[in-house]
Structure 1
Amino acid sequence: MWKKSARTHQSPACSEDRQHEHSRKKVIKCKAAVLWEPHKPFTIEDIEVAPPKAHEVRIKMVATGVCRSDDHAVSGTLITPLPAVLGHEGAGIVESIGEGVTCVKPACGKCRICKHPESNFCCQNDLVKPRGTLRDGTSRFSCKGKPIHNFIGTSTFSQYTVVEDIAVVKIDEASPLDKVCLIGCGFSTGFGSAIKVAKVTPGSTCVVFGLGGVGLSVIIGCKVAGASRIIAVDINKDKFAKAKELGATECINPKDYSKPIHQVLQEMTDGGADFSFEVIGRLDTMTSALLSCHESCGVSVIVGVPPNAESLSVHPMLLLLGRTWKGAIFGDQLLGFKSKDSIPKLVADFMAKKFPLDPLITHVLPFEKINEAFDLLRAGKSIRTVLTF
């Protein structure tokens, strides 16, 4: 969920030029949305962004999506050191580079997971045990003389940010950054969960719990994969029209039934769906999604970020008969590629009109209205709000 698409006018084989050499030594003063405490609004602050160090890239942000994972950090569901500049679904233009960056290209490729053909979760991540810094243990942000933490290696809620070269990719210069920023997290996570993690098959039946931006992206993935039946589940009926527009064949609200929703879905699908997806992040819906897929051949994928410090207890018989239970971070490796390769390919596919992004964007607001964007998210009135700089 953390790769940030960035656009640069450099060629893939170029090295640093004099302009980069001069630029990278400067501290930049700019605006950023700082979260000082949990459960509080963001405040727009004047911050200083230090120059990039070796193997780092400083980026001028153009657009960033507001993702539910950011709100989890605000609420404390996702623990991260504060104060911090949050945000992770962004697109921008390279401003300067640190030593050793020959272009915004290949991944670290050194750790066991980067070398593994079936994983995308680099060991250098800052998600499992968040430090709120870059790999050298420091942040490039400061405000009022106080260091400000980084957020999962990206921090896109700032006019300028510094990321490591393993966390930025070069994309098509012609691409609209206020749309393809969604490929930096939400779209890729949902789409890849259907295409790559679940491996949805033609003619299959799928159930999707949660119709936010990621859940709707799962629906797009299921449709592209050829599913013949896609059942969308949400307690907000206002999202049903959009779900059907993107490929859902049926939409149901658990509140309309007196029995557990998994029983309803089992009855609708001759014992259970072929594939189910939990895209909410609640323990009860994770269980419901598991029970909604067929006990002998169903595949259930957890996509939503779970509550912090809570555990899920499951009877082994729910799996022993043949169900498969999986999890997905950033849609795993999309289309058979690592995310460093798959993001540019997805951007190219979007430019070729192979899938839509516009229907996922319900609001576009100036960066300074970030708190309004989070209010829309929490009220269920937005799918994706894009903030522009």
Structure 2
Amino acid sequence: MATVGKVITCKAAVAWEPGKPLCIEEVEVAPPKAHEVRIKVVATGVCHTDWEYLFETGKGMKFRPFPLVLGHEAAGIVESTGPEVTRFSPGDKVIPLFLPYCGECERCLSPKTNHCKKNWTNMQAGVLADGTSRISCKGQQVYQFLGVSSFSQYTVVPDTSVAKIRSDAPLDKVCLLGCGVSTGYGAAINAGKVEKDSSCAVFGLGAVGLAAVMGCKVAMARRIIGVDINPNKFEKARQFGATDCINPRDYSKPIQEVVVEKTGGGVDYGLECVGSPAIMVGASFEIWHTLYNVFLVNLDLISFLLMGRTLKGTYFGGWKSVKDVPKLVDDYMNRKLKLDEFITEKLPLVQINKAFGLLKSGKSIRTVISLQDS
């Protein structure tokens, strides 16, 4: 290919500083170095995490260096590979991943965790293995969000953070498996291990919550209660398998009391998919019977634990990223997993700020950005 070994000039949405809209800029993407893959990004989802790191930095969110190219939920095509890359070739369809999987370390070999540490610290800091980014703009380095930066037409990612997928997979759909859908679905299937004929309550019906509902449905839960303050999401939740939908604003009492009353004592599993400490405490930990589980929380509530309740957090749904994502793609292609139903809008890169607005307003489950149409 004519671009191999050369700097590629392309378009990207650059966050120059926190709290400001993204700017569409021309950026330079350097060739991949050892154990790196340069990807032509075809499609990317707009995740709430992207919004939070732009607009909530310093308000509880860990600071990220700016300027920054956000985006971490994507799919694309390998443009070129750096030295010592053996698993990828130009033309391969791939999903870049914010969670690495080297397949060799103690954590990758353990069935108890998916927290591979390969390149982890640098990727969290917005750079690759050598401590620098491959993206620059106007003569300065632009940091790569979670080591991915999919709001750019091209990006460079460590080869331990890339999943090769089947050639017939639609990239504008399977991009969603790079974050939200995999996380929520895995929370029910892997972390929660929801059982047949159980009852579940899912708090928050965004992409992660709907995916958790889908996971509960696949696990053959008998009753799945979706909880959200936006009733416009209820029809979608029922499509994914919710048997009941509740709006906390319709009641004068705490939502946990409502759930307990409606279920005759509480549910078996509570899945918190909002990220609110108040909801984690009240709307999750107080809604089930004595010996049941809650996921996606990290709180020390001794009295509840002593009564037999358990809690468990999950990162990326417990999936071994590079190893498991291709299997999720296969499940979608075999109609065992929904993806199309999550997509509420498709926009070009130049409308990325509109996508953020739709997300924040609650009018969008997932907007997919078409990178090569911009």
Q: Is TM more than 0.5 here?
A: yes
**Is 1:353 aligned to residue 339 of structure 2?**
no
How far the C-alpha of 1:290 sits from its partner, in A, is 3.0
- The answer to whether the 8 A contact 2:42-2:76 is kept is yes
1:332 counterpart residue number = 318
- The answer to whether the 8 A contact 1:290-1:325 is kept is no
Alignment of 1:139-154 (within 5 A): 139-154=133-148
Residues 201 and 26 (structure 1), Cα distance of their counterparts in 2 relative to 1, 3 Å cut: same
Equivalents in 2 of 1:274, 1:128: separation in Å? 39
SS in 2 for 1:80: coil
SS in 2 for 1:348: helix
Q: For residue 367 of structure 1, what is the amino acid of its counterpart?
A: L
Equivalents in 2 of 1:81, 1:326: separation in Å? 30
Alignment of 1:311-330 (within 5 A): 314-330=300-316
Please say which of residues 162-171 and 288-297 is displaced more in the overlay: 288-297
- The answer to whether the 8 A contact 1:81-1:131 is kept is yes
1:202 counterpart residue number = 196
Match of 1:111 among 97, 100, 105: 105
1:243 counterpart residue number = 237
How far the C-alpha of 1:84 sits from its partner, in A, is 0.6
**Is 1:380 aligned to residue 366 of structure 2?**
no
Equivalents in 1 of 2:119, 2:315: separation in Å? 12
How far the C-alpha of 1:78 sits from its partner, in A, is 4.3
Residues 144 and 128 (structure 1), Cα distance of their counterparts in 2 relative to 1, 3 Å cut: closer
Match of 2:276 among 264, 282, 299: 282
Deviations 1:15-72 (A, max 9, x none): xxxx5xx744201101100011111100001100010000000000000000011111
SS in 2 for 1:178: helix
- The answer to whether the 8 A contact 1:134-1:163 is kept is yes
Q: For residue 42 of structure 1, what is the amino acid of its counterpart?
A: L
Q: For residue 360 of structure 1, what is the amino acid of its counterpart?
A: F
Equivalents in 1 of 2:317, 2:169: separation in Å? 22
Match of 1:137 among 131, 134, 139: 131
- The answer to whether the 8 A contact 2:123-2:146 is kept is no
How far the C-alpha of 1:112 sits from its partner, in A, is 2.8
In the superposition, the TM-score normalised over structure 2's length comes to 0.91
Deviations 1:344-371 (A, max 9, x none): 1111111111122111100000111100
- The answer to whether the 8 A contact 1:231-1:249 is kept is yes
How far the C-alpha of 1:240 sits from its partner, in A, is 0.6
Alignment of 1:218-297 (within 5 A): 218-297=212-291
**Is 1:88 aligned to residue 72 of structure 2?**
yes
Report the RMSD for the aligned CA atoms in angstroms: 1.8
Equivalents in 1 of 2:107, 2:151: separation in Å? 28
Residues 78 and 271 (structure 1), Cα distance of their counterparts in 2 relative to 1, 3 Å cut: farther
SS in 1 for 2:176: helix
- The answer to whether the 8 A contact 2:123-2:147 is kept is no
1:344 counterpart residue number = 326
2:97 counterpart residue number = none
Paired positions, count: 357
- The answer to whether the 8 A contact 1:124-1:135 is kept is no
Q: For residue 160 of structure 2, what is the amino acid of its counterpart?
A: I
Please say which of residues 247-256 and 293-302 is displaced more in the overlay: 293-302
Equivalents in 2 of 1:351, 1:292: separation in Å? 38
Match of 1:101 among 77, 85, 105: 85
Q: For residue 92 of structure 1, what is the amino acid of its counterpart?
A: G
Residues 181 and 259 (structure 1), Cα distance of their counterparts in 2 relative to 1, 3 Å cut: same
1:54 counterpart residue number = 34
Q: For residue 346 of structure 1, what is the amino acid of its counterpart?
A: L
SS in 2 for 1:331: helix
- The answer to whether the 8 A contact 1:272-1:298 is kept is no
SS in 1 for 2:270: strand
Residues 128 and 135 (structure 1), Cα distance of their counterparts in 2 relative to 1, 3 Å cut: closer
1:308 counterpart residue number = none
Q: For residue 180 of structure 1, what is the amino acid of its counterpart?
A: V
**Is 1:28 aligned to residue 8 of structure 2?**
yes
Deviations 1:64-91 (A, max 9, x none): 0000111111121343211111100000
Identity of aligned residues (%): 54
- The answer to whether the 8 A contact 1:289-1:300 is kept is no
Residues 69 and 125 (structure 1), Cα distance of their counterparts in 2 relative to 1, 3 Å cut: farther
Match of 1:174 among 156, 161, 168: 168
How far the C-alpha of 1:127 sits from its partner, in A, is 7.2
Equivalents in 2 of 1:87, 1:58: separation in Å? 15
Equivalents in 2 of 1:170, 1:109: separation in Å? 14
Q: For residue 210 of structure 1, what is the amino acid of its counterpart?
A: G
Match of 1:45 among 4, 25, 32: 25
Equivalents in 2 of 1:291, 1:270: separation in Å? 16
Residues 170 and 83 (structure 1), Cα distance of their counterparts in 2 relative to 1, 3 Å cut: same
SS in 1 for 2:124: coil
Q: For residue 344 of structure 1, what is the amino acid of its counterpart?
A: P
Mind listing any 5+ residue stretches in structure 2 that lack a counterpart? Answer: 89-93, 95-99
- The answer to whether the 8 A contact 2:75-2:175 is kept is yes
Match of 2:346 among 348, 351, 364: 364
SS in 2 for 1:240: helix
1:192 counterpart residue number = 186
In the superposition, the TM-score normalised over structure 1's length comes to 0.88
